[in-house]
Amino acid sequence: MKTLDKKNRSLKDIRISVTDKCNFRCGYCMPKDIYNSSYQFLKKAEILSFEEIELLVNSFSDLGVEKVRLTGGEPLLRKNIHKLVERIKVNNKIKDVCITTNGVLMTKEAVNNLKLSGLDRITFSLDSINESSFKKISDTNYTPSDVIQGIENALSAGFKNTKINVVIKKGINDNEIVDILSYFKNHDIEIRFIEFMDVGNTNDWSFEKVFGRDQILNEIEKKYTINKVKDLAQSSTSEVWSYDYGRFGIISSVTKPFCTNCTRIRLTCDGKLYNCLFSSNGYDIMKFIRPFYMDDKLINFLSNLWKSRDDSYSLDRKKIITVNKVKDKAEMSYIGG
């Protein structure tokens, strides 16, 4: 069933945050002064089980969803995450299942289990290959080598279309754009540079801290010859360029928003739906799940929710920030990116 929102966008993909916990404390996502020992993470009983997520994916697939991205927090902190992938892969309407991870728990055993479960792709996040700058950004004791080992494990297990997300913050890691691209030039990997976004309320975002798409391109052109690759998928969030050794992408939510193609909905690990990454309100769907799963009522609710969707935050950002001043946006680690 094809469902269109108020801006004529169909519902094609879902991002599911499977946990609000993480073993990193990236300042742009979970700054340590807030996410510390006194922070109240969700309790186990509040979190959707694998069975519940499977049922939800099946309902969403009836509304046209074909792509599922598992995220978090750190999705690998969810024990036996491959068993969730196995459940989702049974549904043949779902064409693509992917995980976004910081990579440090991608051991050989974990990637092999994920490969066997049918996971289609892995996207890693790595903002720096320099040890001290990586530590500053992620605020953990892990090192870039731990992430790179996870990436190597995934490639060895036969994963294709592997991507690496690199969030660029002005004055923090903009000097590493070419280094990161060059480091992975002989790997079958697409680097995707992401503009620092104003998700949530805790990351101290401002326009001045954004190192934009054109500046990123400018850096890369100093070293490589680049050519824009025609957009392959209409719903893609990234623009892609070829360079001397392959391809790279840029996700420019701030300087070149892509809301007109936004076909995704977001589900938090405690069963709230968000129509937009920058929404303040999530729609609680637990009442359709517990104590009994009410498929018909849920599908009716989801269909009406999508039909009423009018979001285009990034296109309207300047006005929203200066005039409307949105408060209480959902945090990235909760909504899942």
For helices 81-89 and 108-117, give the axis angle rounded to 10 degrees.
Answer: 20
Q: Which two tokens stand for residue 208?
A: 């001045």
Q: Which two tokens stand for residue 283?
A: 């729609």
214 or 244: CB nearest ligand SAM: 214
Among 71, 117, 237, 312, the residue binding ligand SAM under the rule CB under 6 A is 71
94 or 194: CB nearest ligand SF4: 194
Least distance in angstroms from the C-beta of 258 to ligand SF4: 5
Q: Where does this chain touch ligand SAM (CB under 6 A) — which range of 96-104, 150-158, 258-266, 308-316?
A: 96-104
Least distance in angstroms from the C-beta of 74 to ligand SAM: 4
Beta strand pairing call for 283-284 and 272-274: antiparallel
165: partner contacted, choices ligand SF4, ligand SAM, none (Cβ within 5-8 A by kind): ligand SAM
Question: Would you give the distance in Å from CA 116 to the centre of its chain?
Answer: 23
Least distance in angstroms from the C-beta of 309 to ligand SF4: 8
The single-letter code of the amino acid at 121 is R
Q: Which residues contact 173 (CB under 8 A, 6 or more apart)?
A: 127, 128, 133, 137, 166
Residue 333 binding ligand SAM, by CB under 6 A = yes
Residue 199 binding ligand SAM, by CB under 6 A = yes
Residue 3 binding ligand SAM, by CB under 6 A = no
276: partner contacted, choices ligand SF4, ligand SAM, none (Cβ within 5-8 A by kind): ligand SF4
C-beta separation of 104 from 135 below 8 A: no
Sheet of 121-125: strands edge to edge? Answer: 227-229, 239-243, 246-251, 189-195, 162-168, 121-125, 96-101, 67-71, 13-17, 264-267, 272-274, 283-284
Q: Label residue 251 left, alpha or beta by phi (over 0 means left) and psi (-120 to 50 means alpha).
A: beta
Please report, as ranges, the residues that interact with ligand SF4 according to CB under 6 A: 22, 24-26, 29-30, 72-74, 102, 125, 253, 257-259, 262, 276-278, 311-314, 332-333
Residues forming contacts to ligand SAM in the complex (CB under 6 A) are: 22, 28-29, 71-72, 74, 100-102, 125, 165, 167, 194, 196-197, 199, 203, 332-333, 336-337
